[in-house]
Structure 1
């Protein structure tokens, strides 16, 4: 006997199918409402990116790359976008960039608060951690099946799949950054009369910022990977150009699409890494004692009476 008898095989595939069918039958209208805010942000970003002159976008990324990551990386970002323009993939690149900006924005808006809750509650983190483990180990193609059944096909469902796939890193690293804040900094803040909210805004988050920025960088890279895969469900962008080239056995078309994806990914990675490095430098300069000094000065400046500090 080389395998388990059929009567002992668990019907796990049927269970998954029944769960998805139940979600589609009972909750599809609820899931459809999630499309609206994502579609609004995506349309706004896409209209902006496609309305700007290509030279202005190139200049913008050159300056941003220079100011965040140094002149060499700034020149690299500018040259990368120039090459994308001369390869005839400018519109596709702007579509991919719109998808990335939208996905990362929602990942940060949703993921950072979840990471803060996880960093403040061990019970919540104990429940959330296995969920994130499953999300990060599930193959990216698997996300496409329930997304298509619940949201349909197109660019907006693709953005939803990208958000779900890319969110775990920013949640994990926000949680990690908050847990690594020195306990003495929190205790000193409480001794100055800081409330829980004031300690979070003025002490915990500034000291956790380098870790949060690393999470944003990792989320961006995962979103870049997924933005290519979602072309399989009709999402626009550079991934669709590569998919069409493969389908037509057009090596040249697929090749320039892949090169444009690499250039775009490296440029965005350099910029976010530069922002992360700047936050680390600020973190080293922002010692807990000096941070508490600023907080104390702000408190005493707001009111001279001890009662107002409670």
Structure 2
């Protein structure tokens, strides 16, 4: 005897079927938009020779972090090229950047809205709790149903999975702006929009940048999982290693992800805490 008396899964399936039957045109538009954005980013990065893109990363590492990390970035690029994974790394980087930009476009305004309304914040907080506790693999199911297989559903799932940190930390940063600064802005005649862009957002920027950093890291982790539905990149190498029980292949793919994650993490983290000051010469 089946003791299941609350068939939530059936309700969800019926709802998804309803969306597919009545709003397929909308999903086609979303898929075309996502594919267009990701295609532009990937074409831009893959068209760069390794010396140009690698030089930009090394230069950015030197500018934002310092000489030691620039040397590490150079060594990481040499390792990725040496093990034959540079092209897959560029594809993964393009997916992460495109997904992060999409997550920020949706997430930062949502965080600002939540910071300006307690009711919105209560609803958004519950939604974010749901999004962050849901297993990452679950996001692949609706993404594949709505958009099929390939890069588009992988990017869609990545955006949904990676958005919560920037929403939370944007909301938190704006709410933590000191009351004295807000009162000073109002005393100088700031409108609500001017107060937001000239007082609240500049003072909340370290928190917002921390959210952007965490969004990039979550996007990078989800891109690996999204390789199961054809997202491509370094995740394909890890997936092939699992399928073939090839420890070496899986390790190389995982090493590529680790090196890319370290580079992106340290560079984006530096924007939140400011550029490293040069040491004084003696």
TM-score range, shorter chain: over 0.9
Partner of 1:86: 82
Alpha carbons of 1:54 and 1:18: their partners in 2 closer, same or farther (altered >3 Å)?
A: same
Distance in 2 of aligned mates of 1:279 and 1:194: 30
Deviates more, 1:66-75 or 1:118-127: 66-75
User: Deviation at 1:34?
Assistant: 1.0
Distance in 2 of aligned mates of 1:8 and 1:64: 56
Partner of 1:22: 18
Partner of 1:303: none
User: Deviation at 1:90?
Assistant: 1.0
User: Deviation at 1:279?
Assistant: 7.9
Partner of 2:280: none
User: Deviation at 1:27?
Assistant: 1.8
User: Deviation at 1:266?
Assistant: 0.9
Distance in 2 of aligned mates of 1:179 and 1:280: 27
User: Deviation at 1:17?
Assistant: 1.5
Q: Alignment RMSD, CA only? A: 1.5
User: Deviation at 1:8?
Assistant: 5.1
Structure 1 segments, 4+ long, off by >4 Å, are none
Partner of 2:7: 11
- For the Cα contact (< 8 Å) 1:155–1:234, is it kept in 2? yes
Q: Does 1:117 align with 2:113?
A: yes
- For the Cα contact (< 8 Å) 1:245–1:251, is it kept in 2? yes
Gaps of 5+ in 2: 278-282
> Structure 1 residue aligned with 2:242, among 242, 246, 267?
246
> Structure 1 residue aligned with 2:173, among 145, 153, 177?
177
- For the Cα contact (< 8 Å) 1:169–1:219, is it kept in 2? yes
Aligned pairs for 1:29-178 (under 5 A) are: 29-178=25-174
Distance in 2 of aligned mates of 1:126 and 1:204: 20
- Greater C-alpha radius of gyration: 1
Distance in 2 of aligned mates of 1:29 and 1:249: 41
SS in 1 for 2:231: coil
Work out the number of aligned pairs and report it.
277
Q: Does 1:276 align with 2:277?
A: no
Gaps of 5+ in 1: 282-310
